[in-house]
Chains A and B, each alone.
Chain A
Amino acid sequence: MITTCRIGLLQLADSAPVLVARSMGIFSRHGLDVEAVVVPSWANIADGLVWNGLDGALMFPPLAIMTALGQRGRAIGLRPGFPVSRGGNTIVLRGQKVDHTEWTAQADKHRAFENWKNTLGRKPRLGVVHLYSTHYLILSRFLKNLSVCRDTETEIVIMPPARMIQALAAGEIDGFCAGPPWGADAHLKGLAFIVAGSASLAPGHLEKMLVLKEIWKSQNPDGPARMHAALTEAIALCHDPAHAQDITHLLSRPLDANGLGLPEEAVKAVMPGSRAMADTMMFGGQNGQTGAACGWMIEDMQNEGWLPAPMLETLRTLGWYDC
């Protein structure tokens, strides 16, 4: 019997395993008919899960956690999903690297940031893909490390990753933290330079999980196991540099040709095995990681005041938090 599943995802290179499993017939070999639903923003992922538009989604833990807790609509008790990718996020700032050599040369990064800020003539506007994202937490850590006060010295602007390049070019934002390949794309287009990323701020952190709705799991008791088996195969292909070229082509195909419409050169730069960047993507989880892998995120989210004590208890019950 064929099991159908609607998986929501965004135009990001780390969505690769789902696209690869679909286009190479891996899902169908495991008896799954997967529809990859490309949505325009993270709000659509959360709403799709809450109001029955999707059976599952590729998403980062903070949004899955806040959706599970009913902070975006009704609580739907999402549990931790299958780890699909690690790292790959980059922080970029407006300008050319050659004009900002102090970022690499100078030990005093706070000074470097101040000098950069002065070239703007306004409070820096920094784009993040969603409030409840790994990107927001990573950017917050970055600013804190520089002794820059996020809330008073910068302005955080929320917009979907695929909009960042246009917003940077139009002067709406002065930098951003986003998933692959958008940081690489900004750098290759000469719009911005890379200052930090997952690798320097939270090495190897869990980025995307495949979260499945509990109701889908109960309706399809062997669905999760088949899904995991299919994704494990696809992840192995994505992680192998021998397939990087084919996967780059697949991701760069237009949306209406089963691709993701991503900029090809930028995708090439972030594929595993590429030496072009510090923050290349890594696919798959680390052994035995789920709950513990989210530990730093939950800690940071607590510090943001998003998770009062009763919510922590719920998270523990759902398996997000083991301490």
Chain B
Amino acid sequence: MKVLLADENSHRAGALARLLEAEATLDVILVEDDTSLIDAVRRHAPDIVLVDISRADRDALDSVRALSASGLERPVALFVDEDDESLMEDAFAAGVCSYNVLDAPVTNVKPLLRAAIALYRRFRNTNAELEAARKTLSERETIDRAKFLFMKQERCKEDEAYRWFRKQAMQQARKIIDVATDYLAHQNRNPKQ
């Protein structure tokens, strides 16, 4: 069975390909960069297409059935499992969906879709962790910059500067990062000579 993977995130596409290739009956193909989804389907004639739902060109696959000009001999359509709504909800929440060739022999798509959901979730979690780490880093940087500016302006030591920001934050019931951001913005607008 030929499976086409359409995902512009090459790391994720590669990981999903490796996962699926463990199954010997699957022939896995990746959509090349700069190739539209519909051209890739035309060229490779897959049985199943697993698509990253944020790919803007998947609308084209939606319309294949109705458009005679699509040039596809084998019509494809969004895979929908009406009996397993949670599978469908999980798939869209994870960011992946499947298009199936309508005249292909009936195959069990669900294990494939489940594998894709698991992998997409794992990538989403890793990304969220990365994003959180990045945010902590940039917050740290902002607080440091505000602190050093304060030290320069007020001719004080680092621990004194930090205490000032902490006190402001407590008094205003805000986070230190917000106080630091405001302080930097204020200093930028009204630089002391």
Considering only CB atoms, which chain B residue lies closest to A52 in the complex? B89
Partner of B69, one of A43, A129, A151: A151
Residue of B nearest to A48 (CB): B92
State the 10 A-B residue pairs at the shortest beta-carbon distance, nearest first. A131-B63, A51-B92, A40-B56, A155-B69, A158-B60, A41-B59, A158-B63, A160-B56, A43-B59, A51-B89
Which residues of chain B in 52-74 are interfacial with respect to chain A, using CB atoms and an 8 Å cutoff?
Answer: 53-60, 62-63, 66-69
B117 at the interface (CB under 8 A from A): no
Interface residues of B in 30-65 (CB under 8 A from A): 53-60, 62-63
Counting CB contacts under 8 A, is A204 at the interface?
A: no
Could you tell me if B97 and A41 are in contact, using CB atoms closer than 8 angstroms? Answer: no
A321 to B179 alpha-carbon distance, docked (Å): 57
Beta-carbon contact of A43 and B88 below 8 Å: no
- Asked if A158 contacts B92 (CB within 8 A), the reply is no
Contact B59 A130 (CB under 8 A): yes
In the assembled complex, 14 residue pairs joining A and B whose CB atoms fall closer than 8 Å, in A order, are A41-B55, A41-B56, A47-B53, A47-B78, A51-B89, A51-B91, A52-B89, A73-B78, A130-B62, A131-B66, A151-B68, A158-B60, A159-B57, A163-B56
Given contacts A51-B88, A53-B93, contact A159 B69 (CB under 8 A): no
Measured CA separation A131–B77 after assembly (Å):
14
Measured between beta carbons, the chain A residues less than 8 angstroms from B78 are 43, 47, 72-73
B190 nearest CB across to chain A (Å): 24
- The secondary-structure label for the interface of chain A is loop
Tell yes or no: B23 within 8 A of A by CB: no
Contact B82 A44 (CB under 8 A): no
Residues of B within 8 A of A159 (CB): 56-57, 59-60
Q: How far is the CA of A72 from the CA of B80 in the complex (A)?
A: 9
State the Cβ distance, A175 to closest chain B Cβ, in Å.
14
Further 11 A-B residue pairs, CB within 8 A, beyond A41-B55, A52-B93:
A47-B53, A51-B85, A51-B92, A53-B92, A53-B93, A73-B78, A130-B62, A130-B63, A131-B67, A158-B62, A159-B60
A72 contacts which chain B residues (CB < 8 A)?
Answer: 62, 78
Chain B residues within an 8 Å CB radius of A306: 66
Q: Which residues from B are CB-within-8-Å of A162?
A: 56
- Give B192 Cβ to nearest chain A Cβ, in Å: 29
CB neighbors of B among A26-57 (8 A): 40-44, 47-48, 51-53
> Which residues does B use to contact A, with CB under 8 Å?
53-60, 62-63, 66-69, 78, 80, 82, 85, 88-89, 91-93, 97
B95 to chain A minimum Cβ distance, whole angstroms, is 10
Specify which chain A residues have a CB less than 8 angstroms from the CB of B68 in the assembled complex: 151
> For chain A residues 155-188, which have a beta carbon within 8 Å of chain B?
155-160, 162-163
Q: Does A74 contact B (CB under 8 A)?
A: yes
Chain B residues whose CB sits within 8 angstroms of the CB of A163 once the complex forms: 56-57
Most chain A CB atoms below 10 A, which of B56, B67, B85, B97 = B56
Contacts of B63 on A, CB cut-off 8 Å?
130-131, 158
Which of chain A's residues has its CB closest to B90's CB?
A: A51
List A residues 281-323 near B (Cβ within 8 Å): 304, 306
CB contacts (< 8 Å) of A129 on chain B: these are: 59
Contact between B69 and A47 (Cβ–Cβ < 8 Å)?
no
Measured in the bound complex, the distance between the Cα atoms of B63 and A48 in whole Å is: 18
Min CB gap B126→A, angstroms: 21
Q: How far is the CB of A151 from chain B (nearest CB, A)?
A: 5
Select which of A44, A48, A74, A154 is within 8 A of B80 by beta carbon: A74
Chain B residues lying within 8 Å of A158, measured Cβ to Cβ, are 59-60, 62-63, 67
Max chain A Cβ within 10 angstroms of own Cβ: one of B59, B78, B91, B97: B59
Alpha-carbon separation in the docked complex, A134 to B60 (Å): 16
- B62 contact from A53, A131, A304, Cβ within 8 A: A131
**Interface set, chain A 6-20, CB cutoff 8 A to B:** none
CA distance A41 to B51 in the complex (A): 13
Closest residue of chain A to B60 (Cβ to Cβ) is A158
Residues A74 and B85 in contact, CB atoms below 8 Å apart: yes
User: How far is it, in angstroms, between the C-alpha of A151 and the C-alpha of B69 when the chains are bound?
Assistant: 7
CB under 8 Å from chain B, chain A span 122-155? 129-131, 151, 154-155
Residues of chain A contacted by B92 (CB below 8 angstroms): 47-48, 51-53
A154 to B80 Cα, complex, angstroms: 31
List residues of chain A with CB within 8 A of the CB of B66. Answer: 131, 304, 306
Chain B: CB-nearest residue to A73: B80
Give A51's nearest chain B residue, CB to CB. Answer: B92
Which residues of the partner chain A approach B54 to less than 8 Å between Cβ atoms?
Answer: 40, 44
**B53, closest chain A residue (CB):** A44
List, in ascending order, chain B residues with CB within 8 A of A44's CB: 53-54
| Complex contacts, B57 vs chain A, CB 8 Å | 41, 159-160, 163
